Structure 1
Amino acid sequence: MRFKYLIAAFVVGCLITTAQATPDRWRVEWPNTDFGKTNIGSWSEILSGGPPRDGIPALTDPDYIKVSREKRILDREPVITLELPGDTPRAFPIRYLTWHEIVNDTVGGVPVAVTFCPLCNSGITFDRRIQGKVLTFGVSGKLRNSDMVMYDRETESWWQQALGQGIVGQMTGVELTQLPSWMESWAEFKARNPNGLVMAQPNYPRDYGRNPYTGYDTSARPFLYNGEMPPHGIEPLARVVRVGDRAWPVARLRSGKVEEAGLNITWEKGQASALDSANIGKGRDVGTVRVRDTRGRDVPHDVMFAFAFHAFWPEGTWMLSN
């Protein structure tokens, strides 16, 4: 299993990185980051994920093609869907985000960052405007609680992807606005949006469509994570629907929709896990979650692994039953 190989390859590096976690060792690579400002408890929380800064290349202003022209993507493959007023609905295939993790673009006049952290299954879209600036995000190569640490190219501050919050540097404590987006199958997107757009294949030498984390979401433990496991007997890599500081186990949704806390949460089969089989489109069915309010409007949310929710919202509410 590829994931077991990754654990073996990085276990020594993880220990070394923890021992060396200090800004003094990072300043050469990050000369413009203000390490005097941070809201994390200990520098040892920051680990190297393996690749260096920009070793996972974020994308900016990608090309798009019409849905009818896309022939590579399998029907069950997951995409992140963004449907903003004033613009054509767009699909961002996970087959590309697995290898790039961040897409910077402008949709409907809104500068956006579409992000995906494979190790947390966290797919979130942010508004890139903050404090009168438009930020451009890259991948730092660092992890915290197994979640991607992003950075902005304007101030070189570090940002926690799961939180959408600055954690190191000038932007420490600043929060990005999360926009409504969701993961669904390619078949679902194109059936609803036959005139929609899909991000074109990037011009990088990557094995797009292959999952480098084969078997990850059925493994016993998260990768490069030393924190507490979730309570209530919930498996660490079980998917949960996070809205604010509440989490609904996806397993609870499979018997039908849930209506509570002013939300209508539904689950439909048909979407492949991006973190199961070697071919993303052939992963086991994990279904599509939609979250709407009582007026039918899409609500910002995230379908992430339970361990990550517990790590970043340790006092969060687990919505286990009616």
Structure 2
Amino acid sequence: MLLRLLSGFAAFVLAVQSVAASPEFWAREWPRTDFSRTSLSSWVEILSGGPPKDGIPALDDPTMIQVSDDRWLDDREPVITVEIDGAIPHAYPLRYLTWHEIVNDTVAGVPVAITFCPLCNSGIVFDRRTASGPLSFGVSGKLRNSDMIMYDRETESWWQQAMGEAIVGQLTGTTLRQIPTWMESWGQFHGRNPDGLVMEEPGWSRDYGSNPYVSYDSSHRPSLYSGELPPHDIPALARVVRVGDRAWPVSRLTTGVVSEEGLVLTWEAGQTSALDTQQISKGRDVGSVRVRDQAGQDVAHDVMFAFAFHAFWPDGRWMLGN
């Protein structure tokens, strides 16, 4: 249902964006944001995603429970796994992140932001510490290239989730460190970490476990996006593994281990898409990706849609294996 609303809303937004996209228009909602500082070439790059500021509520300091105490998750459902040295492994289910998009937490003394943008399939975990101190993040309700714009509550600067970079406000140009994490199935996580922790269901009134973006990742075009489509005849919503400014189509990994550019990329079946069927647990199998260096250490990466990689890294390298 939400996807249908977004599709209808997109036509309206694109028609009025040149009028509405301006600091003067936003100033009442964002009186603390310093709009005199930005890395954007044009304010028209910013769209409303529909919900207002905090209309999608970020979560803070979630309750974590033992793996064995979870009552809701199906073994095939996707989770974002956070394994930091010295800490018990943590799992953050997409059944919750789809509705909240940001979780501010602390793992092994490290303040982290677990983020998920459904329209780009971008699930990234950031270290919230900066030279200006630790930050906490909320959902602005704004999009750029269909990707969520976060904001920090301390300065109300705006941040591009896919890049981890402040693009508007006092902290413009500041970047967050991406922590090596990955998406995998709940079964894969708890099978490897029987003593691990998982985020408990939040106390909000949401239809957790359902997907408000039904059939989105089989669409021909992304929602609320008017930019260029990917080159090389790659479908706009094909999943790619981004490491820095390089992108490997996930389809390459499904036929075997890919070892190149100093990296080892693997794929394992068993994880459902969170953006396919109405119930996340019944989605088609898109598998789990892991990226390590030659020494076996996990490497920061993102499994995102191809159009989003091309939008934010237009000069990026497509690792096609030919």
CA distance in 2, matches of 1:172, 1:49: 21
CA distance in 2, matches of 1:189, 1:244: 25
Moved more, 81-90 or 10-19: 10-19
- Kindly state the Cα deviation for residue 83 of structure 1 after the two structures are TM-superposed: 0.3
- Structure 2 CA distance for aligned equivalents of residues 17 and 291 of structure 1: 39
Distance 1:118 1:227 in 2: 18
Give me the TM-score of the superposition, normalised by structure 1. 0.98
SS in 1 for 2:12: helix
Q: 1:100 corresponds to which residue?
A: 100
Q: How far is the alpha carbon of 1:10 from its aligned partner? A: 3.6
SS in 1 for 2:276: coil
Matches within 5 A, 1:40-55: 40-55=40-55
Deviations 1:108-127 (A, max 9, x none): 11000000000000000000
Deviations 1:116-168 (A, max 9, x none): 00000000000000014000000000000000000000010000000000000
Give the conservation status (yes or no) of the 8 Å contact 1:2–1:215: no
Contact 1:239 1:305 in 2 (8 A): yes
3-state SS of 2:38 partner:
coil
The corresponding residue for 2:228 is: 228
Kindly report which structure 2 residues correspond to 1:134-173, keeping only aligned pairs within 5 A, or say none: 134-173=134-173
TM-score, structure 2 normalization: 0.98
Q: Determine the structure 2 residue equivalent to 1:85.
A: 85
In structure 2, distance between residues paired with 1:20 and 1:9: 14
C-alpha deviations, 1:264-317, integer Å up to 9, x for none?
Answer: 000011000000000011100000000000010000000000000000000000
Alignment partner of 1:292 is 2:295: no
| Matching residue's letter, 2:260 | E
Q: For 1:75, give the aligned amino acid.
A: D
Provide the residue aligned with 1:74 in structure 2. Answer: 74
Inter-partner Cα distance in structure 2 for 1:194 and 1:14: 48
**2:258–2:264 contact (8 Å) kept in structure 1:** yes
- After superposition, the Cα gap between the structure-2 partners of 1:102 and 1:234, relative to the gap in structure 1 and judged at 3 Å, is same
| Rounded Cα–Cα distance in structure 2 between residues aligned with 1:32 and 1:52 | 16
Residue 35 of structure 1 aligns to which amino acid in structure 2?
F
Query: Are positions 1:192 and 2:192 aligned together?
Result: yes
SS at match of 2:205: coil
What one-letter code is carried by the residue in structure 1 that aligns with 2:256?
G
Answer with 209-218 or 5-14: which moved more: 5-14
SS in 1 for 2:79: strand
Cα distance in 2 between the residues matched to 1:196 and 1:34: 42
Residue 176 of structure 1 is matched in structure 2 by 176
Alpha-carbon separation, structure 1, partners of 2:76 and 2:132: 40
Offset of residue 8 of structure 1: 1.8
Contact persistence 1:111–1:129 (CA under 8 A): yes
Counterpart code for 2:303: V
Q: RMSD in angstroms over aligned alpha carbons?
A: 1.0
Q: Any stretches of 5+ residues in structure 2 without a counterpart?
A: none
| CA displacement 1:194-251 (0-9 Å, x = unmatched) | 0000000001000000000000000010000000000000000000000000000001
Secondary structure at the aligned position of 1:19 is classed as helix
CA contact (8 A) 2:49 2:143 kept: yes
C-alpha distance in 2, partners of 1:236/1:102?
Answer: 24
Q: 1:139 corresponds to which letter in structure 2?
A: V
CA deviation after TM superposition for structure 1 residue 19, in Å: 2.7
Structure 1 position 31 matched with structure 2 position 22: no
- 2:316 aligns with 316
CA distance, structure 1, for counterparts of residue 132 and residue 26 of structure 2: 28
Structure 1 residue 16, shift from structure 2 partner: 2.0
Q: Equivalent residue for 1:275?
A: 275
- 2:178 counterpart SS class: strand
Superposition misfits of 4+ residues, deviation over 6 angstroms: none
Structure 1 residues 196-275: aligned runs within 5 Å: 196-275=196-275
